[in-house]
Structure 1
Amino acid sequence: MRYGYLLTGVLSGMMVAVHAQEERRDERPTTIDSIDVVRDYRPILADAVKIRRSPDMSNKRQYHPKFNYNILDKKLDINTGTKQLTIQEMPFARTQTLTNNYAKIGAGNLGTLLGEVYLSSDYWIDTRLGGYVKHLNQQGTLDEQRFSSQQIGIFGRTILGPITLDGEVGYSRYGTRFYGMVNDIDGTSLNFDRSRQAFNDIYFTGELVSNYDEQATDAFSYSLKADAYAYSNAYETRENSFALAGYLNKQVGVFNIGANVSGDFTGVSDASYRLSNNIAKVNPYIRFQGANYNITLGANFVAEFGDSARTNIFPSAEIDFALVPQFAHIFGGITGDVNKTSLKELTRENPWLAALGESNYIRNSVDRMHVFGGIKGNAGATFGYKVKAFYRRIESMPFYAVTPGSPYTFNVIYEDGENASTIIGLEGEINVRVSEVVTLGGKVNFNEFDLQREEEAWYTPKMRLSANARFNISDKLYIDGELLFQGQTYGLIQDANVNLSGYSITEIGDTGMRKATVPSFADLSAGAEYRATDRIGVYVRLNNMLGANYERYLFYPRLGLNVIGGVNFSF
């Protein structure tokens, strides 16, 4: 019903509107207009908005390359375990010619002749074999002041899985003369026969050592070393020695448990003297090791046997603590030991020893206590240093003294007393690389002796300095230098008939013996090498540039200024 009323109302409104519109039209005046049609309507654009270029409706496509895909039809092989990779072995080939070998020849004043040949093979990656030959002879300005040395040897090294083997066998000879310039109080020479002296050494050394395994947290390491030599001089004095040494070490967490063991069997003989001098040592230890510290505690058992027998037990403890890691470590320790006195070492230090006998014999020295400590470290790869102080109590220290009745030869004398003698010392060492061009290094020693019997530590300096420098001027030119300075020492004279004019002399009480001062000296040497080619170089060497005829031992002046020059070849 409601919709019917609404429709009736809408229709009524429309009728009223139409009627009203008709009434308004009727109100305008009625006129008649005429319209002339000339042409059809065409819309025309102005010139300003026209596009003068007609579009190119030709169908052009860019070039599309054709791709070919070669998809392998393979099944992915997935295993539950890890598959070991197979390595394709490549044939060994050298990328460049190696120059491990060289030859060196030279000559100079004082009748100097020098020759060296060094050969080495690196054909195998894990094995090295080689050999060398050396010769040097010189003659000073004094009568029979001659020196010569020769060496020949072969060596080898190989890596066999968990171990490494290396060894060397060789022969060396050193010859000189008893040229001592010594006179009696009337000025007559006491050296009637400047006889020849020569030392021959046939030696062998070999070592077996376990290789380090970085992955092993409980590593077991070991080594075994053998040394043997047959040593003799021109007067039928001989020394034969055979030694075995080894160590065992087992890592257990932060601990290392191990032992050092050695046995030295030595025999010395002369025309009227024989000695069997054997030493056995056992040094068990336990080491506590952390990131910044290392502490070792143990003992040193030493037994001497042969012509005499003696057993000693010494403490053995060391500590190393990183005060500033990689820059400064403090270290210290206490230990003791028996030091073997051998004819070989004595004559290398002083080649003018007299024949062995009752007044010139061999005795081992004993370090009753050796306490040391210091600081060491580095600053990168350009600066390294070490400073160490020590205190030693020693029995039977060996010294040299002029032989009574034969003052151009020397005897070995020992510091004896009711108590051990002491040495307080300081050592310093430094290495500096100033730049890629300059490298410097040096070492200094200071010693103060408190002896029980002897007046002085004969021929042993209280101060000794050595320094070296190297300058890489270019890729072809190298210059190096060395300096050795030794403080004054003292020599013991037991013969009142020896003329000591030119020396500072002090009488030793009422014993009739005298103390002669051996002046301090400095020995400066330098050398240069120029690489003319990759394989050929020329060199020159100047020794004792200050030209000082200094003495290391009484009555035996050293060579003055000597110059050596020559050529070396690499091949």
Structure 2
Amino acid sequence: MIFQTSMRYGYLLTGIFSGMIMMGYAQEERRDERSATIDSIDVVRDYRPILADAVKIRRSPDMSNKRQYQPKLAYQILDRKLDINTGTKQLAIQEMPFTRTQTLTNNYVKIGAGNLGTILGEVHLSSDYYVDTRLGGYVKHLSQQGTYEEQKFSSQQVGVFGRTILGPVTLDGEIGFNRYGTRFYGVVGDVDGTNLNLNPAKQAFNDIYFTGELTSNYDEQATDAFSYSLKADAYSYSNAYDTKESAVALSGYVNKQLNVFNVGANISGDFTSVKDASYDLGNNIARINPYIRFQGSNYNITLGANFVSEFGDSSRTNIFPSAEIDFALIPQFAHIFGGINGDVNKTSVKELTKENPWLGALGNTNYIRNSVDRMQVFGGIKGNAGATFGYKVKAFYRRIEGMPFYAVTPGTPYAFQLVYEDGENASTIIGLEGELNVRVSEVVTIGGKLNFNEYDLQREEEAWYMPKMRLAANARFNISDKLYIDGELLFQGQTYGLVRDPNVDLSEYSMTELGSTGARKTTIPSFADLSAGAEYRVTDQIGVYMRLNNMLGTHYERYLFYPRLGLNVIGGVNFSF
């Protein structure tokens, strides 16, 4: 069986080889039969493909069935809507943590001395470490002595202040103490040449005060904003002669914006008590001023009324008009404004003695009463040209009752008493005011204010010690980053004083008799007071300064018998940190 199978495989192989030989023979005969041409190809040897060593794979493939590890991938696709609005909108600013780029110098110490026994010292401390909070305090001292007998002055100030922003409101306040000391050094003689002020008495004013205010912060995004403010003021004021004045004042306002309208009211209450050895007065004033305001891009119109009630030792109620308009004739360059109003002006010992510290003791002939602005009409133009030029011109007409003036006290001519302008009709004042501020360049800045007043009084001969013309101007020169120079000019036109004591010698003054009462009007000449100062920064922290006051050296008089200090020079060092 095996033999037969082997024979079959043998026959099969023999047949296959025989067929291959026959096919090769047939092909050889065909080649021989084809004639050679120019395109003929002679085969030298058979083609054998050979790979270069560089492309040979010398590693046997791994044929085992292995499945590589495939990690599970997770994708978080953000579902964000593409904002392609064509309109503009406010950019959201990313708040950054507060960092200081440099150390601020809000604190300084200043010391100085000069002629006329001048001693100056100041310390000011302030902390701005927190963006929304500021705390600080100060101490000041100045003392001088003139060439006249007991012509002495001294001033001390101590205060602590603070300010903080609490979300929608801002809270700020200050508490302090001020003292001003002088003497009744008036140079007065009688007609026989005898000195009427042999022993100039001391005078000192002590003022303890407090002020605080809570104000809503402005929200520019609110079209119907509601704003408000509440303020409290209090002080206790006294002098060396047991005159005391205490006052507490509360005031505030509310305002509601309704499209182009603003509706609101100003409300205040002032409660004042004045006491002297023989004088006691309660002087209280309450006000309410409701208004409605129409506001546009180029105009502002306010209409309202002012209700004022006085109560205490005497009672009186007044209603005054209150209206104002502001129109942009040329926006940012020229605004026309005007208005009409009225009010009760509080007469206080504190304000009177700041103006004239030689006011005598109060009593039946020297008492306190308020003046009343029956009507005040005003108008003018104001504007600016960028940050380098600003101006304001204002004219006004006032009808006023009970204006207080100063007059020399009979028997003690070195002290003053109050006289009031009384009459059946109100007195009038016509005035013109002008203000100008110019920055000529980065080096020079100039500013000033000019006032003209014309008085038409019903009873008094003149507006005693009230000038008809007054000019106050200032200039500053930044010579370099280290050197600064500034100057001030005060000019006041001639004024008039009232003397009711016929024994007082007025031979050195221009004088006019006023009837048969023995009262005389004296002319106080005009004067100019020129001052200048310079400061040089030696380093960023240390500077030296010098100041010259009353450079013209004139012993002018603001009030009769009280000449001012002549030329005085102050120099010293300041240190900032």
Amino acid of the residue matched to residue 160 of structure 1?
L
Counterpart amino acid of 1:457? A
What TM-score results when the alignment is normalised by the length of structure 2?
A: 0.85
Per the TM alignment, residue 87 of structure 1 is displaced from its structure 2 partner at its CA by 10
The within-5 A match list for 1:91-130 is 93-130=99-136
Q: Which residue of 1 aligns with 2:335?
A: 329
| Number of the residue aligned with 2:538 | 532
- Give the residue type in structure 2 aligned to 1:418: E
Aligned length: 498
In structure 2, relative to structure 1, the CA distance for the partners of 1:503 and 1:222 (3 Å cut) is: same
- Give 2:512's aligned residue: 506
**Which moved further from structure 2: 507-516 or 200-209?**
507-516
User: For residues 232-254 of structure 1, what are the alpha-carbon distances to aligned partners after superposition, in whole Å with 9 as ceiling and x for unaligned?
Assistant: 00010000000000000000000
| Unmatched tracts of structure 1, length 5 or more | 1-71
In the TM superposition, what are the counterparts of 1:398-413 in structure 2 within 5 Å? 398-413=404-419
Cα 1:288/1:88, change in 2 over 3 Å: closer
* Mapping 1:100-499, distance limit 5 Å: 100-499=106-505
Q: Counterpart of 1:53?
A: none
How far residue 146 of structure 1 moved from its aligned partner, in angstroms, is 0.1
**Structure 1 residues 409 and 162 mapped into 2: Cα distance closer, same or farther (>3 Å)?**
same
Name the structure 1 match of 2:77: 76
Task: Quickly say closer, same or farther: Cα 1:81–1:124, change in 2 above 3 A.
Answer: farther
Gaps (5+ residues) in structure 2?
Answer: 1-72, 84-90
Q: CA deviation at 1:403?
A: 0.1
Aligned equivalents of 1:88, 1:521: Cα separation in 2: 60
In the alignment, residue 179 of structure 2 is paired with which amino acid?
R
Residue 66 of structure 1 is matched in structure 2 by none
Distance 1:142 1:327 in 2: 51
Q: CA RMSD in A?
A: 1.6
User: 1:75 and 1:131, CA in 2 relative to 1: closer, same or farther beyond 3 A?
Assistant: same
Match status 1:550 vs 2:551: no
Q: Identity of aligned pairs, percent?
A: 81
Return closer, same or farther for 1:261/1:91 CA change in 2, 3 Å cut-off.
Answer: closer
Deviation at 1:86, TM superposition (A): 12
Q: Distance in 1 between matches of 2:433 and 2:427?
A: 19
Residue 80 of structure 1: how far off its partner (Å)? 6.3
Over 3 Å counting, the alpha-carbon distance change for 1:327 and 1:92 in structure 2 is: closer
Using the alignment, how far apart are the partners of 2:95 and 2:341 within structure 1? 53
CA shift, 1:74, in A, is: 5.0
Q: Deviations along 1:304-355, whole A, 9 cap, x unmatched?
A: 0000000000000000000000000000000000000000000000000110
| CA distance in 2 between partners of 1:400 and 1:89 (Å) | 60
Please give the alpha-carbon distance, in whole angstroms, between the structure 1 residues aligned to 2:75 and 2:187.
Answer: 95
Q: Quickly say closer, same or farther: Cα 1:111–1:248, change in 2 above 3 A.
A: same
Match of 1:560 in 2: 566
Distance 1:423 1:371 in 2: 11
Query: Once the 2 structures are TM-superposed, how far is the Cα of residue 125 of structure 1 from its aligned partner?
Result: 1.1
- Structure 1 segments, 4+ long, off by >6 Å, are 85-91
Distance change in 2, residues 1:87/1:284 (3 Å): closer
Letter in 1 for 2:161: F
Q: Distance in 2 between matches of 1:204 and 1:108?
A: 33
SS of 2:171's equivalent? strand
Instruction: Report the Cα distance in structure 2 between the residues aligned to 1:311 and 1:370, rounded to whole angstroms.
Output: 18
- Superposed CA deviations along residues 217-237 of structure 1, whole A, max 9, x for unmatched, are 000000000000000000100
Query: Offset at 1:92?
Result: 5.1
1:314–1:478 CA distance, 2 compared to 1 (3 A): same
C-alpha separation in 1, matches of 2:453 and 2:75: 81
Measure how far apart 1:94 and its partner are: 3.0
Q: 1:451-505: per-residue Cα shift (whole Å, max 9, x none)? A: 0000000000000000000000000000000000000000001000000011000
Find the counterpart in structure 1 of residue 59 from structure 2.
none
Q: Name the aligned partner's letter for residue 77 of structure 1.
A: L
Aligned AA (1:114): L
Relative distance call for 1:74 and 1:112 in structure 2 (3 A) is: farther
Tell me which of 517, 535, 544 is aligned to 2:523.
517
